[in-house]
Structure 1
Amino acid sequence: MMAKKRVQIILFSESVSANVTPILDSRMQPNEVVFVAITRLQQAVNSASAFIEEIGITTKTVFIDDAWNFNDLLITISALLQYPDKVDYELNISGGNKVLAIAAYEVFKQENLGIFQVNQTSDVVVWLNNPANKGVINLEDHLSIERYFQLQGVAVTHQQTSKISQEAQRLGKRWVKRARHLTKGLALLNHLASTANNLKLCSRRLSSQEYYNAQLQELVGSLEFYHLVTLEKKRLIFSSEEDRAFCNGFWLEEYVFSELDKIARESEYIQDVARGVEVVWDYGNSTVRNELDVVFLANNQLFIIECKARNFLAQRKSGINTIYKMEALLHRLGGKNACGVIASFGNFNVHNKERARLMGLCILEAEKLLDLKKHIFHIMQDVEK
């Protein structure tokens, strides 16, 4: 007997995980997908359809102009169920407004067809009608960072996944350990590195007070030991552009990435991690470009980490700008269920911390960065609640 064609009808959601993860799972993968979506989501539907067709699954789309006309919605959904003796239909009810969801549920329930919703925090399929008696399905993690952004209509033009040198990892960890003692020294080092943006990679001349600063001397001593910097005539000369960038704040990004890379290799929680992720998307008639410090996917959920090596206590405006920028990036790049983390070597003032909390952002200051693994797991658990 010929196997039935498998068709998954999806009430389109603005969440990447709700739309796509049940399609990618080997236990649920259909032969065809039918999106039911409101008209304003056409661009998002087009991105999802293009991605799904790339993996060999055909797609169709039914656009709804009026998602509040219950009777018309019943007719529209019913018309999708053709040849029930030859087709195995399942309904993904994760998206759509309540009226559309109820209409679709009634049609599928009356026909005793499979109905499910994706719990978007735990990435588990919840069955609302389960005539085939399928068990609990914890969806497989097949999405990569590049695929995730593609589904959001965003192109990844570059990303780094390679490990940094052991020397750089050691330095970053040492500086995080001595966070309370090196705050001013690191701020000065960052500033000197920024002034060395020239062909000779040479900083401005240090003042006598700067030259004898104990914190800076400790930092420069470590850098000289690893041949990243030389100190000549009260000027820092960096061994390469990469070493200059490292001292100009990239050390924190490198540290966070290396710690997350360890977590990804030691556990099953994180499925993809990258740093220096350059993304591009269209906004009206213009193109927007941005670079994300560290990005990872865990259980098909996106986490964006912004790394800041400055002290925000004395720069309240700079701190709040960082918070607003992160919130805007999450809204555009991650959808409803993405999580934003600000990893800061310095401290935020209490007002900025409260604003970040209200926006659903997590701030990890220097003391927490030392035990990054524990705090990342806490953040992931909080997101799933």
Structure 2
Amino acid sequence: MKTLLISLVSDQTLPNVQLIKEFKKEVTDYLFISTEKMEKKGCRLWISKAAAIDDESCGMFHILVKEFSFDDIAENLGKFDFSIYDKLILNITGGTKVLTLAAHDYFKQLEADIYYVTGFNNEFIKIFPDRFKQINHFSSKITIAEYLYSYGFDFKLSEKSKIDEEYTNQLYHSFLENRLADFTEELNFLRSKRSGGVKSISNAKTNVSRFLESIGYKPIETDRLSPYETKYLTGDWLDEYVGNKIKKELFLSSDELLVGVTLSKDKGKEPLNDVQKLLGEGVRLSGTGPDNEIDVMFIYKNEFYTIECKTSIINRVENGMQPDGTRKFKESNILGETIYKVDYLKNRFGLKAKSVILTLTSFNHYVTEPGNPVERNNRTKQMEDLINRCNFSDIRLIDRNRLMSTDKLASLIISR
């Protein structure tokens, strides 16, 4: 029995992948109805890669149409021989309204099974035939890799720390209870060594040994810290803690949750801006793009979540000495740039992607800590603006106070 699944290609590619997976055992061939714009972006190829289909494993065809022309859509569909198939399945979730309506009318006449993916509660609806619209639930799960591929991303994972999970849990509670507030200088030094590690702890310009003793950490090699140890101690431990905690609480598999993910993406056949031309032919480019590293990402009930983990949203850098001889620190709030990064990536993960910023900073403590009335007022106004920016971008904030309110981390992330 020959069965053809027809997909309307648009920017929202995940519904196509979901329905392909759902009917993969019975479908023999695939037809993609696409446009020049979607072909330039590569959306059709993203779908086939994510769904693991190619010309060798099945018949795979595509038709290019003008997405706002009923006549052009009908004319191009008329060139394809649908009569050789015993069954037609149409996914009308993607495409413009014109393309959706034209495809619905055309394939309804051919008595195709027509489906729509809602994007909520793991549901898809059978639109035709049937007088009553049948609501179905996907029997297959989308993996992290399939989700990323469906939106054109490739990815690689950072090296894990290989440090015992129980120690990571202890370190979390030490930071959460603010026992390490006196080690700003040591942590700033270690952050500057994230890429290369610390070659000699004893010769470091700050008392790294005192910091390591306070957290009960013994280096793998005597008197040195490897790059992954340094990264772990300056924040990657929080990524691992959050990942381990969510994985256990939601009973996720290894292909449903990833920690330390660096994304890359094809810029398309014709990028909108040519970096070299804009900056000048004589300028040497670094080849790097925006920060596309995500601390934790997971799939739960076919919904996609990202978490940006920050041990603190306040950077404190030594800035001279006080009149009494104590060190003076300059503070900067990095929540704004964190929101920008999260929002930038969130908009590339589909309409239903959910994003979280998690920090061990207490927002209330930050805005009410000692200082003159003007400083406190400025901190409060700044945080109020940043929190409202998160509300505008639908980014959930979790600070130390919220973390201390429950043992169930997942309940703070997936609740609405």
> Which of the five TM-score ranges fits, normalised by the shorter chain?
0.7 to 0.9
Tell me, yes or no, if structure 1 residue 325 matches structure 2 residue 341.
yes
Partner of 1:251: 237
Answer whether contact 1:169 1:258 (CA < 8 A) is retained. Answer: no
Partner of 1:279: 263
Tell me, yes or no, if structure 1 residue 204 matches structure 2 residue 238.
no
Distance change >3 Å, CA 16–CA 374, structure 1 → 2:
farther
Q: Which piece of structure 1 moves more, 246-255 or 24-33?
A: 24-33
Partner of 1:61: 62
- The aligned length equals 356
Shift of the alpha carbon at 1:119?
A: 1.0
Task: For residues 192-223 of structure 1, give each alpha carbon's deviation from its aligned partner in whole angstroms, at most 9, with x where no partner exists.
Answer: 422554311454235xxxx9xxxx97x75552
Distance change >3 Å, CA 83–CA 302, structure 1 → 2:
same
Q: In 1, distance between residues paired with 2:130 and 2:242?
A: 47
Shift of the alpha carbon at 1:273?
A: 0.6
Answer whether contact 1:344 1:364 (CA < 8 A) is retained. Answer: yes
Q: Identity percentage over the alignment?
A: 21
Answer whether contact 2:161 2:232 (CA < 8 A) is retained. Answer: no
Shift of the alpha carbon at 1:290?
A: 3.2
Distance change >3 Å, CA 157–CA 205, structure 1 → 2:
closer
Answer whether contact 1:252 1:345 (CA < 8 A) is retained. Answer: no
Partner of 1:118: 117
Task: For residues 40-92 of structure 1, give each alpha carbon's deviation from its aligned partner in whole angstroms, at most 9, with x where no partner exists.
Answer: 1111112223443259343211122x2222233234345546216x4200110
Partner of 2:373: none
> Which one-letter code corresponds to 1:223 in the other structure?
I
Partner of 2:351: 336
Q: Which piece of structure 1 moves more, 243-252 or 69-78?
A: 69-78
User: Secondary structure at 2:114's aligned position in 1?
Assistant: strand
Q: In 1, distance between residues paired with 2:248 and 2:104?
A: 44
Task: For residues 315-351 of structure 1, give each alpha carbon's deviation from its aligned partner in whole angstroms, at most 9, with x where no partner exists.
Answer: 34x221111111112233x132222211112256221
Partner of 2:174: 175
Given candidates 299, 302, 316, the residue that maps to 1:300 is 302
Q: Which piece of structure 1 moves more, 152-161 or 102-111?
A: 152-161
Distance change >3 Å, CA 287–CA 109, structure 1 → 2:
farther
> Which one-letter code corresponds to 1:329 in the other structure?
L
> Which one-letter code corresponds to 1:102 in the other structure?
L
> Which one-letter code corresponds to 2:403 in the other structure?
L
Distance change >3 Å, CA 59–CA 305, structure 1 → 2:
same
TM-score calculated relative to the size of structure 1: 0.79
| Structure 1: gaps of 5 or more residues | 231-235
TM-score calculated relative to the size of structure 2: 0.73
Tell me, yes or no, if structure 1 residue 21 matches structure 2 residue 21.
no
Shift of the alpha carbon at 1:155?
A: 1.6
Answer whether contact 1:164 1:254 (CA < 8 A) is retained. Answer: no
Answer whether contact 1:23 1:29 (CA < 8 A) is retained. Answer: no
Answer whether contact 2:159 2:228 (CA < 8 A) is retained. Answer: no
Answer whether contact 1:39 1:63 (CA < 8 A) is retained. Answer: yes
Distance change >3 Å, CA 127–CA 351, structure 1 → 2:
same
Tell me, yes or no, if structure 1 residue 360 matches structure 2 residue 360.
no
Q: Which piece of structure 1 moves more, 33-42 or 345-354?
A: 345-354
Distance change >3 Å, CA 287–CA 281, structure 1 → 2:
farther
Given candidates 237, 242, 251, the residue that maps to 2:228 is 242
Task: For residues 288-333 of structure 1, give each alpha carbon's deviation from its aligned partner in whole angstroms, at most 9, with x where no partner exists.
Answer: 47322111122333222111122349534x221111111112233x
Distance change >3 Å, CA 175–CA 99, structure 1 → 2:
same
> Which one-letter code corresponds to 2:387 in the other structure?
K
Answer whether contact 2:91 2:114 (CA < 8 A) is retained. Answer: yes
Task: For residues 339-378 of structure 1, give each alpha carbon's deviation from its aligned partner in whole angstroms, at most 9, with x where no partner exists.
Answer: 2211112256221111111011111112333567756346
User: Secondary structure at 1:343's aligned position in 2?
Assistant: strand
Tell me, yes or no, if structure 1 residue 89 matches structure 2 residue 81.
no
Q: In 2, distance between residues paired with 1:260 and 1:163?
A: 19
